[in-house]
Amino acid sequence: MATHQSTDSQQDAQVLAAVTAAIKSVQEDTGYGSIEITIHDGRVTQIERREKVRFEANKSKAK
């Protein structure tokens, strides 16, 4: 039983490290975006990172 708990703890630590790395990547690269984490059978299988690019509206020139 202790081995199973130890394995779970190691997997939890790996998941936490992957999620933390994805969040840091968004913060460092753009500062804007979202992260979607896909989990199958209790393990992270995919992390998607989305970035939004926004443009300011052109201000009309004074006539």
Q: pLDDT tens, 25-51?
A: 878 877 677 888 898 887 788 888 888
Interatomic CA distance for residues 32 and 52, integer angstroms: 7
Helix (H) or strand (E) holding 13: helix 2-29
Which pLDDT belongs to residue 2? 54
**pTM score over 0.85:** no
**Res. 9 pLDDT band, cuts 50 70 90:** confident
Which pLDDT belongs to residue 5? 66
What are the Cα distances from residue 61, in Å, to 11, 17, 57, 58? 58, 50, 12, 9
